A and B are shown apart, each in its own frame.
Chain A
Amino acid sequence: MSKYEPLILAFCCHYCAYAAADLAGSMRLQYPNNVRVLKLPCTGKLEVNFILAAFERGVDGVFVAGCLEGGCHYLEGNLRARRRVERAKEILSEIGLEPERVDMFNLSSAQGPRFAEIVNEMTARLTSLGPSPFRPARGAEEPVREMTEQAEASLSGENHDCCQS
């Protein structure tokens, strides 16, 4: 078996963190390929259950990256996000999972190198923490356990509303 490589999900806001990740690309900075970025309009859209869902699904770590404090494009979305990340940490530690597996970062769109630094930092941290106990064998095509049925339930309901009105 190959050496453990953590899998990290990053929730990045459109205006700063995602732009910083793009800038890291334009600058051809090299960083570990463990991170998968999911773009949100603002980290204000981050929900505690997204973080938990990601862990349940088997990621080893999550980081949330928003604008610098005071510099949020949506005024204070990043401040709300920070509190939610704190709450997710609290719940994770109650579960018995290391709260360090999730963290919140702030960076501006000009901080491409900072983005690479964050990925390095999280990768190093998660490598030392070891794989998440919820991690399925990589490449397994079948889910290990049933997916949360509430999520399924909402799949049919919500979608229609959002296009009707």
Chain B
Amino acid sequence: MDATTSDRIMVTVDGRTAEVPAGTSILNAARQMGISIPTLCNYRGLSCYGACRVCLVEIERGQGRQLVASCSYPAENGLVVHTETEKVKDSRQTILELLLAQAPESAELAEFAANLGVESTPFKPVTNGKCILCGLCARVCNEMMGRGAINLFGRGIAKQVRTAWSEQSDQCQACGACAFVCPTGAVDLKTITARRLRPHNTGYDQFLTARPCIDLAHPQASPRVPYIDRDNCVHFKSDECGLCFKVCGAGAIDYEQTVETLDLQVGSVVLTPGFEAFDATRRGEFGFGFAPNVLTNVQFERMLSAAGPTRGHLSRPSDGKAPKRLAFIQCVGSRDAGCDNDYCSSVCCMAATKEAILAMEHEPGLEVTVFFLDLRAFGKDFDRYYERAQKLGVRYVRSFISRTYEMPGSKNLRLVHMNPEMKPVEAEFDMIVLSLGLEPSASLQKQAERLGVVLNRWGFAKTSELMPLDTSRPGVYVGGAFQEPKDIPDTVMQASAAAARAMSLLAAARGTLVRTKSYPPQRDVTDEPARIGVFVCHCGSNIASVVDVEAVVKKAREFPNVILSEHNVYTCASNNQDLMKEKIIANKLNRVVVASCTPRTHEPIFRDTLRDAGLNPYLFEMANIRDQCSWVHSASPEQATAKAVDLVRMAVGRAGCLMPLQEETVPVSNGVLVIGGGIAGMTAALALADQGFPVHLVEKSDQLGGTTREIHHTLDHGDVQGFLAQTIDRLRASRNITIYPNSSVSKVDGNVGSFTSKVVTDGELREIKHGVVVVATGATELKPQSYGYGKSKHVITQLELADRLGKGEFDLPAKATVVMIQCVEQRSEERPYCSRICCTTAVRNALLLKERFPKARIMVLYRDMRTYGYREAAYREAREKGVLFVRYEADHPPTLEVGARLRLKVREPALGKDLQVEPDMVVLAAPMAPRADRKEISELLKVPLNADGFFLEAHTKLRPVDFASEGLFICGTAHSPKFITESISQANAVAARAATILSHKQMPVSGQIAYVDPDKCVSCMTCVHLCAYMAPRIGTDNKAEVQGVVCMGCGSCASECPAKAIMLRHYVDTQILAAVNSLLYAEPVEKQVKNPYPEQVGVAPPKWHKSGV
């Protein structure tokens, strides 16, 4: 083709011809072809200066050849260029040797030269600096920044880069661009600028390290796209620069983007703005902001991160040394009326415990001390974790810290705390971490007003305990810490629960906005020999600047079954995707290999392209030559290229064996089985029924309500009995709910989406079909064996007290003394967990007693007051109203003599003396214990229990309402002790999670699952024993079979099956071995499919089957 149109010209570089715009320099033309030419002084986006001459190439000129600087020589039509001839190499060597003599101290230049094979220079150094006078710094300062703070001055050997009059420049904006572009590390910003240099610390690493002005917002940012920090970017501040726009090969920089306001028509709003950490400078007495070794816990969390500013090493900001003595100060900005945060932030005790353990793992020998007020390890298994921390050597000191003092020389920090004898002692630490409180997002305070949502007195969304998800405005729901400070599992639960509330409201509109993409029918390729297309990506310069893409492409053509091998600058760009689609069709490709970035992000994109081209998406394989090659071997391009070839060869080997997989669907039964008719079970049933799903609610007793029947008041004065009655009425009125009182579940068969269960009611058996199971069997207050309970009518439990108070059946003599004993038979060796609710229950009951019997003396004996969240305010109110709180230690529990009078003795740790009381009434905080039938349910559903007998969820943090087996859910106190409000949240969360299954008529089954070849199976049970999901089972023909819907696709069974009867689709032996076998050299095609035996060995004719037993 004759390309003589005025704006496009044809250029040939190293034997490859391409079309480029007229006027393109040879260097840029070569770059577009993926051929990299070394240069020092050329910088994309800056004008060409031709100073370094390293980019010399040889061009064909008429009869002869000529050396030219490729950066400054404009390519002309038909030009033929050679970049690596002997002449080029010789001249470049001399040039580099001269440059080395010019800048003998530059390590950067020495490395650059060494990579091009020049290790030393025969010339005598002319100066002793680092500068090669390429002028890049001056060009970026003039052309991009419009400053002209530095320039080239003088001539000949007197030439130098400097500021005017060699004085620190006022013109300089201290942007650092000159230092950034300098190829030899010669620029020292301090000598240039008159301004104070300050690192551009960003929130990415909690202001611990400097980051560029274009960066990800945070490591997990989604979408994972960098953004420009407009407050610091030169372009946005002074309209200069714009270098990023010129450099970005993908054209992704858009300075015109502005904040857009979108109008959305929605039926419901869920508020999840989260929280903000307390501003540590408001508690300046701890030294944050001026003492460098005082960090916030959020900063410390970054420091512990392997990908953080210090790569997971602990280091003191003042001197970079590892600390030996570390202290945590708890409750900074929480439980603090002084800054209006008289609530507890709920999460900091455990967060500090976790950070303490991690810190000790990172820095062996580290001494960690946690200064705390009450250790609030109230969540599931939290007390065990706290015990573990103590065993590992974390020192917990119960002491209020009022301030820290920084030591002038060492920058260590001193503080005063109380020792166990309650004497003040001074201690010194190398580093201090402040456990910051959680505060509501400041920006939301105004928004809330606009949204018409009422906030509580601390600025969080106002909800009630019985309606924890509903804000003051109907249809607006709240999830996460904006409702109340809470940790991850509670946040996840509440967010799901808010979704359930919205789904109930919008049930009628479900599915009306769904759009589906249509694909052409898939071509059947099973009988075709493999025809592989290889697409190697430059990823701009991310890959091409290190890996010789062209060489990889060439090499790939030699691999077996490869029909086509090509390269693109950006393979994932949409036009190249279209091109790939055309190539697949035109070349009848049936397997595709893309060598580019990571399949973790891009495999779905390319699989979609395959589907668009009529191929099964599983006929695709990726070679990761960026994240795992060019980025990590940038210093050794040759070996990186060799590795890229190996990786492509492995991918091609595997691709040749790939087979199409069908992602099937199975029908879903939209019914629900709820086991347990307490508040959790009923709430889940209602939430699901409201969404239109038929619910079967099985309750073993004759009444609904469970333990809630004995509770009358919430802390915020909610009427629990009224709420319960209302809930039961709604339940009975719902057309979607069938209630089975006096019933139990005797059998559950099937798997997610299609269960069949048997329910027994008074001996009568009924069969139910349903898609999911909800376990809400609850917990019960365990009746104590100690403190004379049962022997004296003056010793009762908190639940009994609440019930009698609620029913108005409780009376006390005037001036009576009531003692409440906390942690009875719990947080003990036998029952090493906390029941979470007892501290608050004691406070609530104490307040009720004070209301009814103002003259009564009430004393609460506690170990740690765990009144987390807003409950802290009630604790404070109780103290203000005269309730006496006395702490006791676990090894000195109170003793009670039960006789004509009750005599109670307790050791007060601060006084070190016993207190003696003769109470009129003793109230015990008995543990909340799992129901007796937990084991039956656990075996019935094959779901696990934890060591305390509560049901164990799939993931304690991230999947708090799911069981590991799909389609089974857990809510309420069967999961762990919790308040009614938390049970209501969790029950709604279950409804949302269950709806993700029930809302589908058909459920997709992944293609990548295990499959048993029944002819090879010997029914040895190995797979059945080892699968963590119980996906394999012995089928009706006595052979193992894998239940597709249950299989997660890990391949554990396939890897152990002794008969090799199980294969994990998409990862079958042959596919993996093909990659392994291609590691060193390509397997010749004829070697790949050869069977040494005429018939398949293993099954002798006639076909033989074991008889069924």
Contacts and interface: CB of A to CB of B under 8 A. Distances in A.
A143 B1087 contact: yes
B1070 A158 contact: yes
Interface string A6-41: 010100001000110111111111110100111111
B210 to A, nearest CB: 16
A42 B1060 CA distance: 18
A56 B708 CA distance: 66
Contact of A116 (B632, B639, B642, B1063): B632
Given A40-B1051, A75-B964, A156 B1089 contact: yes
B766 to A, nearest CB: 34
Nearest to B1078: A57
Contact of A155 (B598, B1056, B1070, B1079): B1070
State the majority secondary structure of interface residues on B.
loop
A158 B632 contact: no
Given A22-B628, A39-B599, A50-B1073, A57 B1080 contact: yes
Contact of A152 (B311, B640, B1026, B1092): B1092
A18 to B, nearest CB: 7
A44 B1055 contact: yes
B600 A19 contact: yes
B635 A30 contact: yes
Interface in A90-130: 108, 110-114, 116
B472 interface: no
Interface in B1045-1074: 1048-1052, 1054-1056, 1060, 1063-1065, 1067-1070, 1072-1073
A121 B501 CA distance: 52
B1081 interface: yes
B1075 to A, nearest CB: 6
Given A37-B628, A53-B1077, A159 B1068 contact: yes
B223 to A, nearest CB: 15
A155 B600 contact: no
B870 interface: no
Nearest to B1080: A58
Nearest to A160: B526
Interface in A36-95: 36-42, 44-47, 49-50, 53-54, 57-59, 73-77, 80, 84
A163 B1079 CA distance: 26
Given A19-B600, A40-B1051, A165-B1011, A24 B1064 contact: no
A162 interface: yes
Nearest to B224: A26
A110 B1070 contact: no
B63 interface: no
B888 to A, nearest CB: 35
Q: Which of B659, B1083, B1089, B1097 has the most CB of A within 10 A?
A: B659
A113 B642 CA distance: 23
A84 B1070 contact: no
A162 B1052 contact: no
Q: Which of B634, B1026, B1063, B1079 has the most CB of A within 10 A?
A: B1079
B632 A25 contact: yes
A24 B632 contact: yes
Nearest to B1077: A57
Interface residues of A, number: 72
B312 interface: yes
Contacts of B1063: 158, 161-162
A136 interface: yes
B254 to A, nearest CB: 23
Contacts of A54: 1076, 1079
Nearest to A161: B1013
B1049 A28 contact: no
Interface stretch (B20-28, B96-104, B643-651): B643-651
Nearest to A28: B631
A124 B1051 CA distance: 32
Q: Which of A28, A136, A142, A143 has the most CB of B within 10 A?
A: A143
A63 to B, nearest CB: 14
A35 B742 CA distance: 64
Nearest to A164: B526
Contact of B660 (A28, A136, A139, A163): A163
A149 B1092 CA distance: 7
A116 to B, nearest CB: 7
A3 B878 CA distance: 77
B1083 A50 contact: no
Contacts of A73: 1050
B204 to A, nearest CB: 13
A147 B1051 contact: no
Contacts of A152: 1087-1092
Q: B interface, how many residues as a size bin? A: 35 or more
Contacts of B1064: 41, 45
Contacts of A33: 629, 632-633, 636, 639-640, 642-643
Contacts of A113: 306-307, 311-312
A108 B1081 CA distance: 32
B751 interface: no
B381 to A, nearest CB: 13
A42 B307 contact: no
Interface in B510-556: 526
B661 interface: yes
A162 B1011 contact: yes
Contact of B1079 (A57, A142, A160, A161): A57
Contacts of B1069: 47, 49, 151, 154, 158
B1026 A80 contact: yes
Nearest to A135: B1080
Contacts of B257: none
A15 to B, nearest CB: 9
Contact of A111 (B306, B1056, B1093, B1097): B306
B661 A9 contact: no
B632 A23 contact: no
B285 interface: no
Contact of A26 (B627, B639, B1049): B627
A147 B1068 CA distance: 18
A158 B305 CA distance: 44
Contacts of B1048: 74
B715 interface: no
B987 interface: no
A1 interface: no
A50 B1076 contact: yes
A161 B1011 contact: yes
A143 B632 contact: no
Contacts of B306: 108, 110-114
B1029 interface: yes
Contact of A30 (B633, B1008, B1079, B1090): B633
B311 A25 contact: no
B964 A36 contact: no
Contact of A31 (B632, B1079, B1091): B632
B600 A162 contact: no
Nearest to B1051: A45
A47 B1077 contact: no
A58 B1077 CA distance: 9
B730 to A, nearest CB: 38
B1096 A44 contact: no
A22 B1097 contact: no
B590 to A, nearest CB: 12
10 contacts: A25-B628, A33-B632, A38-B1072, A41-B1049, A42-B1050, A74-B1052, A84-B1055, A138-B1080, A152-B1087, A165-B1011
Interface of A: 7, 9, 14, 18-19, 21-31, 33, 36-42, 44-47, 49-50, 53-54, 57-59, 73-77, 80, 84, 108, 110-114, 116, 136, 138-143, 147, 149, 151-163, 165
Given A7-B1080, A59-B1080, A158-B1068, 16 more contacts: A21-B627, A22-B598, A28-B631, A37-B628, A40-B1051, A40-B1067, A41-B1049, A53-B1077, A80-B1052, A111-B306, A111-B312, A141-B1082, A149-B1092, A151-B1069, A152-B1087, A159-B1070
Top 4 A-B pairs, shortest CB-CB distance: A45-B1051, A25-B627, A74-B1050, A44-B1052
